[in-house]
Chains A and B, each alone.
Chain A
């Protein structure tokens, strides 16, 4: 079946018909900067665009200090900061609290402070495992770090990667955002995913100027013969992603 072809001119003309409020765009960007914690950028953007930040910029700063502490492995400091910001968060979120304590244990092990690690696990983590069986297996996995050489590959070496700290930093960031009535995910990436999905739906029906590289956002017309790549499988996974 022949696909409908939409020329670049026609596409641009149609795009021009869509009214997008500049304020909405600015809000979208501001939303991204705030949630991701770019305080300085948000401040600058606010000055240049006139978009008012919906929250106190101070709160971004606070979140970023916590995030940085985690990324540096200063877990205790991060915990104290969170407790200063809102003492309710770690009291009402046992999973997050366990993950923080688990990371403290990982940091002890990383630094080779074995005795302290054992003592800490016994005093702080074991009782949490008793309270909640879900935590037990995670605790066991962490403890088995002690059985392996630190720098050689092991089934649990992923715990020592920066990604592990990153994961925790995001979890904590989300909790802080939620406690401040903010979305935990920025809207922009979700919109991009939706755009990607829409393009894949369109691919099956017509040939049109398409964004291939989202960092450039250029409209590229596909050569006529080469279309049809958008398979069923990938489009369905895009749905899930969106």
Chain B
């Protein structure tokens, strides 16, 4: 059997008898075969070449660097193939010997080649960065950034500059965690990167921008340090980078725009806000019409830059970015159909979807444009895309779009979002799951026709799995979705949901490690115990005897404003229930004391809530006028009435209005039973006579109160919604506005 020339070449690498020159010749043969050729790379890896190369680069013998150089270059070419090639290299342990090749006393060509190969290896996010931060490696690496030092070797300038560029790029790829960013900064890289930035050599500048961007990404501390540095001529980096944004080369423009985006997001260059709006935004939008890597990355940077900024989203919308993105996405779908090749441009699709999601995040106008661009069907089909990233991005889009009541009622239903969304709720990927559950929150709103159908599909059974997923965001979104599901729902729906979900799970959520989850779980209780005596009774029973009020008592004692308000409204709702329900509150001295204390809370919303508790507890009722009197008497003895009188002068109008109502209740009691009457003994005698008067007055006070209350609900609860959205993920602010009144309607008794 004859060997192929490739097999011969590999076998020659191993034989110790082969003269070094022949081995070099074989390596060159292999190199020229595999560069640019993915098929040949695979072939050689199968022939077991990697371990032979590793042997060569691991030898301590530094006499002939040529052999090592060629071996390192061949390794680098494998790494340019695809991720599985890279993993084949790292699994056989090439990173450590490659890092050792960076030894500054070695051949500059070897250093350059090793830096190139390492850079190609670190292109894969799956490769561990750990080794680079061990021992002396990072220090050695950072020294290589210094092309200005006295260690300058004549004739090697080009090689040294190129090495510095590669090192900057490696550093950019090794900033995955805050800790890594800090270690790189501590190693003294930043001043050297600044010099590279001002070097005037375009590739060096791009590489420096890439590293600086990676260092400041989500790192306000380093962003501040870098923004305050001075370049050689005394200039700050930001204005300098702003000039590079207008460079002729698209890759330079992109690198500069990316760096500015992260600096801007870190909030360290507010003085350049205008220039970023007027220069960086339009340049990024124009890049959408380029090709290749620039077009691919630009939408991602754009998405990052405009995230959570209404002004920027509006501006990008005005620049016609939406039709451009829409045409990129729809064109890609057509190409996929023609060639049947999937996976070529996944990243472009993912990033374009992310940009659409960001543009339509906050403004209804922008959402309208997305719908009008006829891209929704492509978004929905992308929800079932084989690439995880594309699925997550598509879901992010539907999440933005579902914040519009109009879209919930029409476009999203028509596009058939429900099916794929339901699928995504079982997705393996955390990112997908996070945005899918966030979208779900909006889909189960009352205004959405999908609420009913998604219930019928058995959404509730998925909730249990989702809360045990171990991710805070997913768990929070899930509680939020359940909360929306039972908002203003029929008793039957509530019972159905809780039967499947289980009160034991609700208890777990109420005691969750994440305060935001606790808050929403309380909100869920508030919605469950809303409106009907029957519903309140269900929650009492479901949580077990006395459990509900024990939990509320505990939450009230925490004095956390986020929990406090919801806990108080749970009480407001319970106080609309039966005599038994009211009595259970009144028996809890701890609860009453907390309510009393919260009447002086600094937040007006909380003061209002406490007064509602009083109003509902003291609500005049002919049938049980005696217990009402007992209640008033009890509260009065605790000093509630005095507290109410003091609140008459509250600066908040809403508080004053509620106080009036509450005081009316105390006044009525006084009129009926007399002023000094604190004792229990008197009231039974007077019950009968009190009935008529009381019934009369109750109709007088109750009705106007009811009117006022409805005006009040949306405003007070939407403002509370804003406050919550911070912790809960901004996707749900609309959710909140729509579901606004949860449970406040507790006073809504007839």
Interface string of A93-118 (1 = CB under 8 A from B): 01001000100000000000000000
Interface hits, A117-142 → B, CB 8 Å: 124, 127, 131-133
* Residue B59 interfacial (CB < 8 Å): no
Task: Let me know if A87 and B201 touch, CB within 8 A.
Answer: no
Task: Let me know if A91 and B36 touch, CB within 8 A.
Answer: yes
Interface hits, A42-66 → B, CB 8 Å: 55-56, 59
Question: Given A181-B202, A181-B204, A90–B157 Cβ distance below 8 Å?
Answer: no
* Residue B80 interfacial (CB < 8 Å): yes
Task: Let me know if B36 and A90 touch, CB within 8 A.
Answer: yes
- Residue of A91, A92, A179 with most chain B CB atoms under a 10 A cut-off: A91
Q: How near does chain A come to B66, taking the closest CB pair, in angstroms?
A: 12
Name the B residues within 8 Å of A79 (CB-CB): 32, 35
* Residue A164 interfacial (CB < 8 Å): no
Task: Let me know if A181 and B201 touch, CB within 8 A.
Answer: yes
Question: Given A87-B116, A91-B80, A131-B38, A56–B157 Cβ distance below 8 Å?
Answer: yes
* Residue B305 interfacial (CB < 8 Å): no
Interface hits, B326-362 → A, CB 8 Å: 335, 338-339, 341, 344
Number of interface residues of B (CB under 8 A): 27
Find A56's partner among B38, B158, B201, B344 (CB 8 Å cutoff).
B158
* Residue B566 interfacial (CB < 8 Å): no
CA of A88 to CA of B115, assembled, Å: 12
Interface string of A10-23 (1 = CB under 8 A from B): 00000000000000
Question: Nearest CB to that of B41 among chain A residues?
Answer: A91
CA of A80 to CA of B34, assembled, Å: 12
Task: Let me know if A91 and B204 touch, CB within 8 A.
Answer: no
Task: Let me know if A132 and B32 touch, CB within 8 A.
Answer: no
CA of A133 to CA of B343, assembled, Å: 12
CA of A92 to CA of B292, assembled, Å: 12
Name the B residues within 8 Å of A124 (CB-CB): 37
* Residue B31 interfacial (CB < 8 Å): yes
Task: Let me know if A88 and B80 touch, CB within 8 A.
Answer: yes
Find A87's partner among B39, B77, B157, B339 (CB 8 Å cutoff).
B77
Interface string of A165-182 (1 = CB under 8 A from B): 000000000000001110
CA of A101 to CA of B76, assembled, Å: 21
Question: Given A83-B31, A87-B73, A133-B339, A92–B80 Cβ distance below 8 Å?
Answer: yes
Name the B residues within 8 Å of A83 (CB-CB): 31-32, 35
CA of A59 to CA of B162, assembled, Å: 13
CA of A131 to CA of B32, assembled, Å: 19
Question: Nearest CB to that of A132 among chain B residues?
Answer: B344
Task: Let me know if B157 and A80 touch, CB within 8 A.
Answer: no
- Residue of A80, A94, A179, A181 with most chain B CB atoms under a 10 A cut-off: A181
Question: Nearest CB to that of B156 among chain A residues?
Answer: A56
Question: Nearest CB to that of A76 among chain B residues?
Answer: B32
Overall SS of chain B's interface: helix
CA of A71 to CA of B196, assembled, Å: 37
Task: Let me know if A127 and B38 touch, CB within 8 A.
Answer: yes
Q: How near does chain B come to A24, taking the closest CB pair, in angstroms?
A: 16
Task: Let me know if A87 and B31 touch, CB within 8 A.
Answer: yes
Q: Once A and B bind, how many residue pairs between them come within 8 Å at the CB atom?
A: 53
Name the B residues within 8 Å of A132 (CB-CB): 344
CA of A94 to CA of B335, assembled, Å: 19
Task: Let me know if A180 and B158 touch, CB within 8 A.
Answer: yes
* Residue B409 interfacial (CB < 8 Å): no
Question: Given A92-B80, A133-B341, A87–B35 Cβ distance below 8 Å?
Answer: yes
CA of A181 to CA of B196, assembled, Å: 13
Q: How near does chain A come to B34, taking the closest CB pair, in angstroms?
A: 9
CA of A91 to CA of B202, assembled, Å: 21
Q: How near does chain B come to A128, taking the closest CB pair, in angstroms?
A: 8
Question: Given A87-B76, A133-B341, A127–B36 Cβ distance below 8 Å?
Answer: no
* Residue B706 interfacial (CB < 8 Å): no
Name the A residues within 8 Å of B77 (CB-CB): 87, 91
Name the A residues within 8 Å of B339 (CB-CB): 133
Q: How near does chain A come to B296, taking the closest CB pair, in angstroms?
A: 14
Q: How near does chain A come to B139, taking the closest CB pair, in angstroms?
A: 26
Interface hits, B483-530 → A, CB 8 Å: none
Name the A residues within 8 Å of B39 (CB-CB): 127
Q: How near does chain A come to B57, taking the closest CB pair, in angstroms?
A: 15
Find A80's partner among B32, B80, B161 (CB 8 Å cutoff).
B32
Name the B residues within 8 Å of A180 (CB-CB): 158, 203
Task: Let me know if B76 and A181 touch, CB within 8 A.
Answer: no
Interface string of B90-132 (1 = CB under 8 A from A): 0000000000000000000000010010001000000000000
Q: How near does chain B come to A179, taking the closest CB pair, in angstroms?
A: 8
Interface hits, B117-152 → A, CB 8 Å: 120
Interface hits, B18-47 → A, CB 8 Å: 28, 31-32, 35-39
Name the B residues within 8 Å of A94 (CB-CB): 36
CA of A68 to CA of B201, assembled, Å: 27
Q: How near does chain A come to B335, taking the closest CB pair, in angstroms?
A: 8
Name the B residues within 8 Å of A80 (CB-CB): 28, 32
Q: How near does chain A come to B704, taking the closest CB pair, in angstroms?
A: 73
CA of A6 to CA of B341, assembled, Å: 64
Q: How near does chain B come to A194, taking the closest CB pair, in angstroms?
A: 14
CA of A97 to CA of B41, assembled, Å: 15
Name the A residues within 8 Å of B73 (CB-CB): 87
Interface string of A77-90 (1 = CB under 8 A from B): 00110010001101
CA of A88 to CA of B74, assembled, Å: 11
Name the B residues within 8 Å of A59 (CB-CB): 158
CA of A92 to CA of B116, assembled, Å: 12
Q: How near does chain B come to A70, taking the closest CB pair, in angstroms?
A: 16
CA of A79 to CA of B80, assembled, Å: 17
Name the B residues within 8 Å of A133 (CB-CB): 335, 338-339, 341
Task: Let me know if A181 and B31 touch, CB within 8 A.
Answer: no
CA of A74 to CA of B37, assembled, Å: 19
Q: How near does chain A come to B398, taking the closest CB pair, in angstroms?
A: 30
CA of A127 to CA of B41, assembled, Å: 12
Name the A residues within 8 Å of B338 (CB-CB): 133
CA of A181 to CA of B249, assembled, Å: 11
Question: Nearest CB to that of B293 among chain A residues?
Answer: A92
CA of A80 to CA of B157, assembled, Å: 23
Q: How near does chain B come to A207, taking the closest CB pair, in angstroms?
A: 35
CA of A124 to CA of B37, assembled, Å: 8
CA of A101 to CA of B35, assembled, Å: 12
Question: Nearest CB to that of A55 among chain B residues?
Answer: B158
CA of A90 to CA of B76, assembled, Å: 12
Interface string of B148-172 (1 = CB under 8 A from A): 0000000001100100000000000
Task: Let me know if B38 and A90 touch, CB within 8 A.
Answer: no
CA of A181 to CA of B204, assembled, Å: 8
Find A97's partner among B31, B36, B113, B120 (CB 8 Å cutoff).
B36
Closest A-B pairs by Cβ, 3 of them: A97-B36, A91-B80, A181-B203
Given contacts A83-B35, A87-B76, A88-B116, 4 further A-B contacts (CB under 8 A): A90-B36, A127-B38, A133-B338, A133-B341
Of the A-B pairs whose beta carbons lie under 8 Å apart in the complex, a sample of 26, sorted by A's number, is A55-B158, A56-B157, A56-B158, A59-B158, A79-B32, A80-B28, A83-B31, A87-B73, A87-B113, A88-B76, A88-B80, A88-B116, A88-B120, A90-B35, A91-B36, A91-B76, A91-B77, A94-B36, A97-B35, A101-B36, A133-B339, A133-B341, A179-B203, A181-B201, A181-B202, A181-B204
Interfacial residues, chain A to chain B (CB-CB below 8 A): 55-56, 59, 79-80, 83, 87-88, 90-92, 94, 97, 101, 124, 127, 131-133, 179-181
